[in-house]
Structure 1
């Protein structure tokens, strides 16, 4: 008689989602449920949300058995990782709860102050965190391309960054646009805080070649478009990324969650997740 030894299946990574009833929250929930190696362990929303008490996957027509709650300890009780695409004030509250409970954190929120960034860095001494202004794999590959382009086009090219998002976005320029500016500035040996120009109006005078310009568009339901323009004499180079769905952000967030699975502490960017560091 032949005896077959059943292999031990790896337990799914238990993930909680903040902002569970929002557009990004729902995309994340769907991505977790459709993955083969992750499980939905919690769903959080703000107090007073009409979604509280509902099944987190009710919008999909297939219950997940996880109710949306506002109590952080309840929502994180069974989670190993929290994915957060909310707002800075919400993320900071979630950060404190994760720190106390030992839950790892993937932060896609943008618009943090320098003080808040310092608090995140401090928390990363106790828990592991991936923080990036954009979780899209494609966007983070573009960041590497921008570094290469800026080094090669360091002389004789004016640099402008143009971004467009939906009417509901509350910060400008986008965190992704600012990160692109930081990457380009660093490659050129500049400090973005000193060379960025965020608006032009009236008689501005001739363009200072050492500056990096930003232009912001807000309207409709644009998911997220970013273009970095290197304008030279007789030619221009454009490096663009355009999102047609939030699905790319969700898949990148799952990759970040998997990356954190064996990391006890530390602050990481998507370049580390993707092996680009």
Structure 2
């Protein structure tokens, strides 16, 4: 399989190249390719979509910090090519998302509060992380209702809204990515966690997603589809 990287010199581009070299059956190419992978920046999304459409290549987008306009661009592109949007390409995080949805479905909003705490390296530009927001959406899906988001609380006289989802972001050092989803109930706590020890896990997950995406027709896919196909 031939993989084209939209940002080959970025941190994730280099990690994917290293991971591909260990597979023995994947070649990183500058032009063409069976799948295009973009881990660049929101402002570059239109350019990566145009490149994928012009080459009729499936597109894997691992960029975080996307807004509604970006989501609209991806949905439009998915009418013509296979598009997989993944705020986190770790297979472990994909499974964590499924577990969060299940837990939220079982634990009532009246008795169980949900808090999401994440930590990343000091150079990460967006907060909360795309993964944290993705896990929050999984919790909302489990509870079959929209939830009020409480971001970075600060001040006095604060009161937690029943059913809300709280987010806290920590930035520093070289942390690849830590995520904790806390279900806080009466006299007990359930904590679902994931720890990323290096970018290599995201690179391996991106390659697994690329293998999946290569076989798909036009449409919008997620990492949940990848683990379901395993």
Note the residue ranges of structure 2 that are not aligned, 5 or more in a row. Answer: none
Normalised to the residue count of structure 1, the TM-score between the two structures is 0.79
Q: 2:176 aligns with which of 200, 219, 223?
A: 223
Aligned-pair distance for 1:134? 0.6
| Structure 1 residue aligned with 2:227 | 274
Aligned to 1:135: 89
Number of the residue aligned with 1:163: 118
Out of 167, 180, 199, the position equivalent to 1:214 is: 167
Give the conservation status (yes or no) of the 8 Å contact 2:3–2:34.
yes
Q: Could you tell me which residue of structure 1 aligns to residue 41 of structure 2?
A: 87
Post-superposition offset of 1:206: 2.9
* Separation (CA, whole Å) in 2 of partners of 1:136 and 1:247: 9
**Number of residue pairs the alignment of both structures matches:** 229
| CA deviations over 1:193-249 (Å, ceiling 9, x no partner) | xx1111212124332222110001111111000000111121111100010011111
Equivalent position SS for 1:120: helix
Task: Give the Å deviation of 1:178.
Answer: 0.2
Q: 1:33 maps to which residue?
A: 21
Compared with structure 1, are the counterparts of its residues 198 and 117 closer, same or farther at alpha carbon in structure 2 (3 Å cutoff)?
same
2:45 and 2:70 in contact (8 A); partners too: no
Normalization by structure 2: what TM-score?
A: 0.95
Q: Note the C-alpha offset of 1:261.
A: 1.6
Contact (CA 8 Å) 2:104, 2:139: kept in 1 or not?
yes
For 1:90, what is the secondary structure of its paired residue?
Answer: helix
Matches of 2:90 and 2:215, distance apart in 1:
22
How far residue 22 of structure 1 moved from its aligned partner, in angstroms, is 2.1
> Which residues of 2 match residues 1-277 of structure 1 at below 5 A?
13-42=1-30, 76=31, 78-154=32-108, 155-192=110-147, 195-275=148-228
1:165-206 CA distances to partner (integer Å, 9 max, x unpaired)? Answer: 1111111110000010011012112214xx111121212433
Runs of 4+ in 1 over 3 A off after TM superposition: none
1:276 CA displacement: 7.0
Higher Rg of the two aligned structures:
1
The secondary structure found in structure 2 opposite 1:274 is helix
Q: CA RMSD in A?
A: 1.5
- Work out the CA distance in 1 between the residues paired with 2:88 and 2:94: 8
Q: Is the 8 A contact 2:6 2:37 kept in 1?
A: yes
